A and B are shown apart, each in its own frame.
Chain A
Amino acid sequence: MNIVIIGNGVAGIEAARTVRRAQPAWSITLVSEESDHFISRTALMWVVSGQLSHRCIEPHERDLYRREGFTRVRARAVGVDLAARRVLLGGGLDPLPYDRLLVASGSRPRPGPWPGSDLPGVGSLVTLQDCEWLEGALHGGASHAGRPPNPDAHHGSSGPTSPYWPKPAVGRPRQAAVVGGGLIGIEAVEVLVAAKVPVRFYIREDWFWPMALDARESAWIAERMREHGVEMRLGEELVAFEGGERLEGVRSSGGTEPADLAVVAIGVQPNTEWLKGSGLERDERSGGLRVDEHLRTSDPHVFAAGDCAAVRWADGSVRPEQLWYTARDQGRVAGRNLLGEDAVYARGPWYNSAKLMDIEYTTAGLVGDVPDERTFFHEETGAVHSTTRVVLSGDRVVGFNMLGRRWDHSVLVRFIEEERSLDHVLDHLHEAAFDTEFVPPLVIPAGGTAGRRNDDNDDDRPRGRA
């Protein structure tokens, strides 16, 4: 059996490992344009700052491909011939025949819709090549630990429309702009702050990351960003990037301000444009490949997993899940189905964690924009600064948004699945604590109920385990 996988990201690699575990003799070929080795995309920000080297973000030892007997092809796939079961490669390379194909081609940065978005100095932070571009601009190149291996190996088969094509190098910026108030945006801000480049952060909405944070939580993050010298431009719509040879200024609804480097972080979109016209069905809105619950595309020999697949969410909607652990899980399910099994990809409840500047963040369940009557909110000040927000539906808990402390999301998810009441959850919250040792535990004063802030509480009896 001949398996071909497009993409050696987490979805592709996990699928390949799953197949190999069951079938030591099958031929498995991984095609990747971006890098020789599987890398952790989530870790690019630390490579830019120099906290990690390019080598550090390879999750497996380099002999992975040899050990597992994976064939590696460093090239750009430009299409699939479903009838002949062949993947077409760019640069005049011979097509790759397959018996079963997995598309795990991830996402590309969503380009800015504004004039000037293609000026040198405007870029993003999604691909390895973006990372190298930022390393060059901020630090004059790779750290002492060196560049990624074979950075140019795919050039023959690629071109400037590819997300993995190198960005034009620019010199060290005097003033940077980051556009888009989400997770990648704040990572870009951190990287620029660490490189001591002044940053303006343009966010269309009235506060940072309204999809996940409420106004109070967001205000805290914004305050922390300001402490680090970030100029917040909240509620400002971008109009254009301006400049000649290189970016010179950013025009927004608030006026024009100088900037010679801009990181656009307004989201990512599935990397499936190379499959247009191949006959594989794509989801109109998101561009993700349509898959069934077995992650099978419209062609029975072709599967899709990870960021490029539009899957059905717990709430019934169909769109890609752009998360590391879901890409990994989808890769494993796709791997089993490449083996001929009938594994089902079942999306569990939403959870995630991140670090917003220096502030730890954990979320589980539904936390979007919820009216005050349906939330319990507690702000802890003192030795530890943290916020705890519990979202209710009727009298059961449906979501958590936690800042400033570490939590085990799996316990929070369990509370939600067991449809616990607020009282139960507050009494048992310590079971989810995952703080490092010697951090004083969270104590929430009793008496807080849905819709009330802790500052309304006059009853100070401690609740839960101290």
Chain B
Amino acid sequence: MDRQGQNGLLSTFREGWRSRQASAWLIAGLLIGFYLWLYFEDRGWFPESMKLMDPAAQAVGLRNRWFLYGFLYCLAMVGGAVYYLRRHGNSRYNQIRIAVNLLVQTLLAFTLPFVMYVFTNQDFYASYLWPLKIEYLYPQTLEHYPVYIAIYCVLAALVATPILALTLGKRWYCSWVCGCGGLANTFGDPWRHLTSSSTRSWRFEKVTVHTVLVLAVSLTVLVAVDFFWGASLPRYHSVVGELRSLYGLFVGAILAGVVGVGLYPLFGPRVWCRNFCPMAALLGLTQKLGRFRIAVKPDMCISCGNCTTYCEMGIDVRAYAQENESFTRAACVGCGMCAHVCPRGVLKLENAPKGKSLPVVG
């Protein structure tokens, strides 16, 4: 069998639900509705009688709405993975990557917190790290966790993450471990071609994603200061409290959830990852300094555009390929789809020492 390359032609743009037709808008509406319900039913936006999430969770034996959400998330990922593997599953890279992603999600992001909650009444999501999970570096949070978890949070975010990003690229997290990326690459995969690859969208991305990163880092510092000196600064303390909940509302609920997933069927599955995720921004900057790159085989690109079209991060891969330029872009999550769909085998993801000439000679 063929272990690489797209098998069979795709019919992406002939499927209405994948091409911004009415059905796509309907799916987007349902997703947005679901997220509004999930995040806002207990913020006084919904009448008492419409508060369904927690009762529904308890009815199926899950403790609260967040576990229900986690369960549905896993289901959506499994369903999406089946669909994904039916189209792209001949490739070894895709098989292994999606399998790891599913395992991390079902074990580390669902089963582990569920079990932990039973024993400690606390939950912890080991696959989410600062600054994506911004509170995992707040001293206020760390204080409440058992010390080994606190150490894990600090080391994972500040030591392991940069080292892995330098050696393997941003992909180790964004398309192998992260739950947001996992959902995007399974449930969201049918819409990957909808991400804009225009220069304008790239400019937008650079501004927004780095803005959120600056906000996240600043907020973390403010909150830490509050932890140590907040008691003596009541006004500061209350302002920081406000900022925390504002960040949670705008970044956590609206951008990551409602916009991030709700817009899958209209703007592709990486709206959040590409434009707003502070973790992606940080990993991207690290990746630029590291070994990961997309190697381009010289003078073989036929400018067909499959790579650019199927890049979920909106990278105009063809622009590099047709100029024979191997490259590293901060946005690249290393999903490998450009190399997979390239009909001339022009592209190859690799972790190579800087400056090494192609091909890697052993």
Do B345 and A438 touch (CB < 8 A)?
no
A431 to B345, CA, bound (A): 16
Partner of B345, one of A40, A406, A437: A406
Determine how close the nearest CB of chain A comes to the CB of B245; give it in whole angstroms: 41
Determine how close the nearest CB of chain A comes to the CB of B342; give it in whole angstroms: 9
Do B14 and A362 touch (CB < 8 A)?
no
User: Is A408's CB within 8 Å of the partner chain B?
Assistant: yes
A46 with B359, Cβ < 8 A, contacts A194-B8, A409-B300 known? no
0/1 per residue, B73-92, Cβ < 8 Å to A? 00000000000000000111
Do B9 and A143 touch (CB < 8 A)?
no
A362 to B21, CA, bound (A): 39
Partner of B9, one of A191, A329, A354, A385: A191
Determine how close the nearest CB of chain B comes to the CB of A149; give it in whole angstroms: 16
Q: Specify which chain B residues have a CB less than 8 angstroms from the CB of A43 in the assembled complex.
A: 302-306
User: Is A42's CB within 8 Å of the partner chain B?
Assistant: yes
Q: Specify which chain A residues have a CB less than 8 angstroms from the CB of B350 in the assembled complex.
A: 437
Partner of A324, one of B9, B303, B362: B303
Partner of B11, one of A190, A194, A360: A194
Do A325 and B299 touch (CB < 8 A)?
yes
0/1 per residue, A406-440, Cβ < 8 Å to B? 11111100000000000000000011111111111
A190 with B359, Cβ < 8 A, contacts A324-B303, A358-B2 known? no
Interface size on B, residues (CB 8 A): 52
Determine how close the nearest CB of chain A comes to the CB of B300; give it in whole angstroms: 6
Do A436 and B19 touch (CB < 8 A)?
no
User: Is B1's CB within 8 Å of the partner chain A?
Assistant: yes
Main secondary structure of the interface of B (DSSP, over half): loop
Do A144 and B2 touch (CB < 8 A)?
no
A384 to B90, CA, bound (A): 11
User: Is A150's CB within 8 Å of the partner chain B?
Assistant: no
User: Is B96's CB within 8 Å of the partner chain A?
Assistant: yes
User: Is A59's CB within 8 Å of the partner chain B?
Assistant: yes
A58 to B197, CA, bound (A): 12
Do A52 and B359 touch (CB < 8 A)?
no
A56 to B305, CA, bound (A): 6
User: Is B5's CB within 8 Å of the partner chain A?
Assistant: yes
Within A343-362, the residues touching B (CB, 8 Å) are 353-355, 358-360, 362
Do B322 and A51 touch (CB < 8 A)?
no
Q: Specify which chain A residues have a CB less than 8 angstroms from the CB of B361 in the assembled complex.
A: 431
Do A57 and B2 touch (CB < 8 A)?
no
Do B359 and A59 touch (CB < 8 A)?
no
A328 to B57, CA, bound (A): 61
0/1 per residue, B46-77, Cβ < 8 Å to A? 00000000000000000000000000000000
Do B297 and A385 touch (CB < 8 A)?
no
A404 to B308, CA, bound (A): 24
Do A353 and B300 touch (CB < 8 A)?
yes
A52 with B305, Cβ < 8 A, contacts A143-B19, A410-B298 known? yes
A42 with B304, Cβ < 8 A, contacts A52-B13, A59-B322, A439-B3 known? yes
Within A253-285, the residues touching B (CB, 8 Å) are none
User: Is A465's CB within 8 Å of the partner chain B?
Assistant: yes
Partner of B13, one of A51, A358, A411: A51
A408 to B298, CA, bound (A): 8
Q: Which residues of B contact A (CB under 8 A)?
A: 1-16, 19-21, 90-93, 96, 198-199, 297-300, 302-306, 308-309, 318, 322, 336, 339-340, 343-345, 348-350, 358-359, 361-362
Pairs A-B, 8 closest by C-beta atoms: A144-B19, A50-B14, A43-B304, A406-B345, A143-B13, A438-B92, A49-B9, A42-B302
In the assembled complex, 15 residue pairs joining A and B whose CB atoms fall closer than 8 Å, in A order, are: A42-B302, A144-B13, A194-B8, A325-B299, A358-B2, A384-B3, A408-B359, A430-B362, A431-B361, A435-B4, A436-B336, A436-B348, A437-B93, A437-B348, A465-B362
Q: Which residues of A contact B (CB under 8 A)?
A: 10, 40, 42-43, 45-46, 49-53, 56-59, 61, 139, 143-145, 190-191, 194, 324-325, 329, 353-355, 358-360, 362, 383-385, 404, 406-411, 430-440, 465
